[in-house]
Amino acid sequence: MKSTMEDVMENENEFLFLGGRPSLDLVNTLRGRNDHVLGKRDLVTTVAELQDWIAAADKQTEWFTLELPESSPTQGELSDAVALREAVHALAVEENGQDVQDPLDVINQLALAQPTPALARIDEGGEGDGEDSRGSRFTVTGGNGPTTVAQLVGFVAADAVNLFATVEGARIKECAQPRCGMVFVDSSRGNRRRWCSMATCGNRAKVKRFDDRARAAAQE
C-alpha cells in the first residue's frame, strides 16, 4: 500500500487546476518555485506540453468555455504563454514598492488578443428564423471562427486583468507548504485556506507532523 507521501509525489508532474482562476492555473504550471530540494519543475516547456495543458483545462475546469483551438501552438504562442505566466506570478506575489510595470505591460498587451464577442442570428433549420426563450432572435458568440491559441492566451490574460482589479486579487495566497509555491484565490469562509490542496500539500504537512512526532517519541 502506498504512503500518503507517495500519493502526493505522483501529482508532481500532473496539471493541477487549483488556482480558482485561469490565470492562476497557468501560473501553477511552474511547480516547486520555492523548492530548494527538487528544484523548479516546468510543465510547459514545449508546444506539445502547452497543447496538453489546454486539453487538460478543457476537460477539468469550468472556466474553459472556448472552443478548442484547431491548430497546435506555435513556438511564439508558447513564449507568450510563459511570459504571461511569469507576469501574473509577479503580480500575485508582489511586495510593496516593487516595480510591476513590465508585468502589467505584458498582461495588457496579450489581453488584446482575447476573443471578442460577436452578435449572431439564432438559426433554426438553416433558415435563420429561430429565437430563444426570451423571444430574442440574436445571440452572442465568443467570436468569429474557431479559437486560436493566441486568443486563448488572450483570454487568460484578460482574466488576469479582471482578477487583479477586483477584491479577489487581494485574496490571492501562496501555498503555506514552503516548497510548493502554487498560488490560489482564497474563497473560503473567514479567508482561512492555507494549502493549494489538502490532498497534496495539506497531506504533506500532516505526514511531516506525524514523522516529527514519531522521531521525537523514538528519542525519548
* Count of C-beta atoms within a 10 Å radius of residue 4: 13
DSSP string, 87-147: HHHHHHT--TT---HHHHHHHHHHHTTSPPPEEEE--STTSS----TTS-SEEEESSSSSP
**Which of left, alpha, beta for 188 (phi over 0: left; psi -120 to 50: alpha)?**
beta
Q: Across 21-35, 117-131, 179-193, which has the greatest mean pLDDT? A: 21-35
In which band, very low, low, confident or very high, does the pLDDT at 38 lie, cut at 50, 70 and 90?
Answer: confident
At 124 the pLDDT is 54
In which band, very low, low, confident or very high, does the pLDDT at 46 lie, cut at 50, 70 and 90?
Answer: very high
At 75 the pLDDT is 98
Residues in a beta bridge with 120: 139
Residues in a beta bridge with 173: 184
At 126 the pLDDT is 47
The mean per-residue pLDDT over the stretch 42-49 comes to: 98
Tens digit of each residue's pLDDT (9 = 90 or more) over 172-214: 999 988 888 899 999 988 888 888 877 778 666 566 655 556 5
Phi, psi of 139 (to 5 degrees): -140, 165
Range of the domain at 205: 4-218
* Count of C-beta atoms within a 10 Å radius of residue 63: 16
Cell 497557468 sits at which residue?
26
As a whole-number percent, the residues of the chain with pLDDT over 90 amount to 53
Amino acid identity for residue 118 in this structure: A
Using the predicted structure, report yes or no on whether residue 134 has a pLDDT greater than 80. no
- Average pLDDT over all residues of the chain: 84
Q: What CATH number is associated with residue 114?
A: 1.10.3300.10
- The domain tally of the chain equals 1
149 burial (CB, 10 Å; 0-12 / 13-18 / 19+) is: buried
Using the predicted structure, report yes or no on whether residue 215 has a pLDDT greater than 70. no
In which band, very low, low, confident or very high, does the pLDDT at 4 lie, cut at 50, 70 and 90?
Answer: very low
In sequence order, what are the residues at sequence separation of 6 or more whose Cβ sits closer than 8 angstroms to the Cβ of residue 102? 87, 90
* Maximum CA extent, the chain: 83
Tens digit of each residue's pLDDT (9 = 90 or more) over 67-103: 899 899 999 999 999 999 999 999 999 876 788 999 9
> What's the full length of the chain, in residues?
220
Beta pairing, strands 138-141 & 30-31: unpaired
Using the predicted structure, report yes or no on whether residue 220 has a pLDDT greater than 90. no
Q: Quick one: angle between helices 75-92 and 149-164, nearest 10? A: 10
In sequence order, what are the residues at sequence separation of 6 or more whose Cβ sits closer than 8 angstroms to the Cβ of residue 105? none
Beta pairing, strands 118-121 & 41-42: unpaired
Using the predicted structure, report yes or no on whether residue 108 has a pLDDT greater than 80. yes
At 128 the pLDDT is 47
Q: What pTM does this model have?
A: 0.79
* Count of C-beta atoms within a 10 Å radius of residue 138: 11
